[in-house]
Amino acid sequence: MTDQRVLLTGATGFIARHIALQLLQQGYRVRGTVRSAAKGEGLLATLAQAGADVSRLEVAEADLTRDAGWQEAANGCDFVCHTASPFPARQPADKLALVPIARDGTLRVVSAAARAGAKRLVVTSSVASITYGHGKERDAVFTGDDWSNVDSPDISAYAVSKTLAERAAWEEAERANLPMVAINPGLVAGPLIGEAAGTSVQLIGMMMRGKLPAVPDIVFGVVDVRDVAAAHVAALTAEGAIGRRFIVSAGSLSMMGIGRAIAEAFPEYRGKVPRFALPDVVVRIAALVVGEARAAIPELGRRKELATEPARAVLGFAPADPREAVAATVRSLRELSRAG
Ligand code: NDP
């Protein structure tokens, strides 16, 4: 038992629940932030159901948009793991719409962590902070040295928010002398704990329900949520991690490939999963009338290679097959619908 306390922001989230579970299993105490007391009760109940010793878990109320609660939440914590961030399924048209929540909220967390004297801060960033807005000509492998270009017209509001929030975290942590690590996951799949369903899970759910019969030719780096959580837990104490950004992805899957992974694991979805890859020209025409299709255009046909060796070497990242991660999401969603 380490008995050290970790502040986990956004503890109700899809990824954070797995981080909480693994932290508790490894003997940490966890203080999870939630936006309401009711959400805190739900979190305790679902983690208890997942087999966690919730006597070591406490919840604290704090919202990224407000100062209240963050310092009290951070006080007495040895480590801080900051996962909370808005992750909407639909992208707002205003590219800067999510920045005040993501960046200013992150600054609140970093300042509170520093004032509390935390030993290390681990920030959940994203490949969205690394691979976007570089233009079609960019074909080199993406590493932790790359940053998304927020001034590019080809970048979503979500990617802008993740990039500016992570940049702000590095600057503030350096100013406050707080050791920091960033984890930059690809699209996260895998089993759900409780009913939490982040945006990445919703994409798989839509494919299962036949809502996406045809999809654009877009490829994601996909990774299992359990491997993402393990990387966060390792990053709290791993030697050689401080000051670094770690890409965590298990491998690339196109949207068609995600559909195939669903149908391979559960043949009954064969008639539901995407059946056609839309020709790029069709997506471009659709984008003229359907605003939501616009975000897909810069990604059409792109194959981005992601460097995961640093995460493997420093954090012991040894990811499961991305198709198995997708199948685990489906299994979980089926169990939840049977339970509900
Ligand atoms: P979820 O939507 O499941 O979790 C987001 C969490 O952030 C929730 O706990 C949510 O609280 C909290 N949150 C949102 N807005 C606020 C706010 N204003 N104040 C306080 N808390 C807030 O998403 P994921 O678990 O998928 O994402 C977690 C993190 O991982 C995010 O930073 C996301 O950007 C990042 N990430 C996710 C990837 C993915 O594919 N899932 C890929 C790469 C990075 P509440 O429950 O109250 O809404």
> What confidence score (pLDDT) does residue 292 get?
67
Asked if 327 and 273 count as a contact pair (C-beta separation under 8 A), the reply is no
**CATH code of the region 5-191+223-250+303-320:** 3.40.50.720
Q: Dihedral sign, CA of 34, 36, 39, 43?
A: positive
Residue 158 CB burial class (10 angstroms; 0-12, 13-18, ≥19): buried
Amino acid at 167: R
Mutate to test the pocket of ligand 1, among 19, 21, 82, 87 (most ligand atoms within 8 A of CB): 87
Separation of 55 CA from ligand 1 center, angstroms?
24
Separation of 83 CA from ligand 1 center, angstroms?
6
Separation between Cα atoms, residue 203 and residue 306, nearest integer Å? 22
> What confidence score (pLDDT) does residue 86 get?
94
Q: Which two tokens stand for residue 103?
A: 């960046």
Asked if 81 and 241 count as a contact pair (C-beta separation under 8 A), the reply is no
User: Which residue positions in the chain have pLDDT lower than 50?
Assistant: none
> What confidence score (pLDDT) does residue 57 get?
97
The per-residue pLDDT for range 236-294, each reduced to its tens digit, is 999 999 999 999 999 999 999 999 999 999 999 999 999 999 888 887 887 777 666 77
> What confidence score (pLDDT) does residue 314 get?
98
Query: Could you please report the per-residue DSSP string of 230-252?
Result: HHHHHHHH-TT-TT-EEEE--EE
- Set 95, 162, 272, 304: catalytic member: 162
Residue nearest to atom 8 of ligand 1 (CA): 13
Asked if 184 and 167 count as a contact pair (C-beta separation under 8 A), the reply is no
> What confidence score (pLDDT) does residue 1 get?
54
> What confidence score (pLDDT) does residue 301 get?
82
Shortest-distance atom of ligand 1 to CA 185 = 43
Please enumerate in sequence order all residues whose Cβ is within 8 A of that of 269, keeping only pairs 6 or more positions apart, or say none. Answer: 207, 208, 262, 263, 330
DSSP E strand stretches across the chain:
5-9, 29-34, 57-61, 79-82, 120-124, 180-185, 187-189, 214-215, 219-224, 245-248, 251-254, 276-277
> What confidence score (pLDDT) does residue 340 get?
61
- Partnered with residue 6 across adjacent β-strands are 30, 79
> What confidence score (pLDDT) does residue 291 get?
66
Residue nearest to atom 39 of ligand 1 (CA): 188
* 162 is an active site residue: yes
162 lines ligand 1 (CB under 6 A): yes
Separation between Cα atoms, residue 95 and residue 149, nearest integer Å? 12
pTM: 0.96
Q: Dihedral sign, CA of 88, 201, 47, 340?
A: positive
101 lines ligand 1 (CB under 6 A): yes
> What confidence score (pLDDT) does residue 153 get?
85
36 lines ligand 1 (CB under 6 A): no
Q: What is the CA radius of gyration of the chain?
A: 19
Q: What is the residue extent of each domain of the chain?
A: 5-191+223-250+303-320
Q: Which two tokens stand for residue 241?
A: 């991690």
Q: 300 — phi, psi (to 5°)? A: -60, 130
> What confidence score (pLDDT) does residue 3 get?
84
